[in-house]
Structure 1
């Protein structure tokens, strides 16, 4: 009979496995600030979007609600606590919570890309769900046509020109390819950041 493994050794092995196979979840478990929670969560979102894109032939027929549910499902499978169509000042497409007691929430709106105005409508929706306590929310466009990165770049340029929804300053870049971040003055008079990003699910 093998001797029992010490608790500390078991924990170290678990962290080693997470580091190798699910580093975003490990970062989430270690998060002690909202900024660290956001960084870990965005890594998981990026990973989920890559998985969706790799199965685009299966998922391209889904509508906005179906794609939102799919994103939440992939996040849950990776160990996150995500729900779709949850009521938070309205029916939010995706709500991602901190693993321990929902200390922080990350709200997201998902749209099938249909130009600048439709994206801004999505941004307005998710800002309306926010209370002003959130540091950041996201607006995700699913692209079913060609040229996603060019369209994201144009969207960024147009937002920096128009400064919609009380956008406080020009956008900032982001580590996720094609993504960018804007800051908007919320009705609570607090600045709330918005991450804008895309996922390519071309029509087959």
Structure 2
């Protein structure tokens, strides 16, 4: 084995040991593999916000999203704020190494009831999403207590009124206090959105 090959092999082993999600992201060959790897990174970013809720308590939606974007960004994964896609999207994630490109659009809201949440869904699904992107992302900063109860109540409301041509009931997601919904999009396909609830209650 040549020195260069050996060094490359050692680097891969190091990444696998230190940052397995990053390696999974780099080597993802399907949309499903990419989303599984991305969900791990997203969970870590949300956990960072939750552990620092007291330090972040003075921030609004844009400030909280700036922190989230900073934590998610890494070589090979471009994460930006206010990038244009038929409007200024709160969070745009682009996997630079993928072909075809993998793009995740996200809308971020401080939780203020189901109506405000649906407003965010309308922006994400009805305005920003073209149908070419992967699963959409709704980041919900919950500053109230009882995030579990609020999540259940929100899901019940969505499953009752089925906004934005929602296709059936919401489904559980691998991330705690989070769920997915599917919607008929103007492109003619169904699009999926994951609603990620972030616990920022500080008492």
Q: Verify same fold: TM over 0.5.
A: yes
- 2:48 counterpart of 1:48: no
Q: What's the counterpart of residue 72 of structure 2?
A: 75
Task: Please say if residues 61 and 203 of structure 1, whose CA atoms lie closer than 8 Å, have aligned partners that are also in contact.
Answer: no
Q: Which runs of 5+ in 2 are unaligned?
A: none
String of CA shifts for 1:28-48, please: whole Å, max 9, x gaps.
100111222222112111100
Q: What's the counterpart of residue 118 of structure 2?
A: 120
Give the TM-score of the pair, scaled to structure 2.
0.92
How big is the shift at 1:64? Answer: 0.3
Q: What's the counterpart of residue 166 of structure 1?
A: 165
Q: What's the counterpart of residue 148 of structure 1?
A: 147
> 1:8-87 residue pairs with structure 2 within 5 A?
8-77=5-74, 80-87=77-84
Q: Which runs of 4+ in 1 moved over 6 A?
A: none
Which range moved further: 64-73 or 101-110? Answer: 101-110
Give the TM-score of the pair, scaled to structure 1.
0.92
Task: Please say if residues 83 and 95 of structure 1, whose CA atoms lie closer than 8 Å, have aligned partners that are also in contact.
Answer: yes
String of CA shifts for 1:118-141, please: whole Å, max 9, x gaps.
111111111121111223101111
Instruction: Count matched residues.
Output: 201
Which range moved further: 86-95 or 97-106? Answer: 97-106
String of CA shifts for 1:50-102, please: whole Å, max 9, x gaps.
01111111112110011111111001158631001111111000011113268
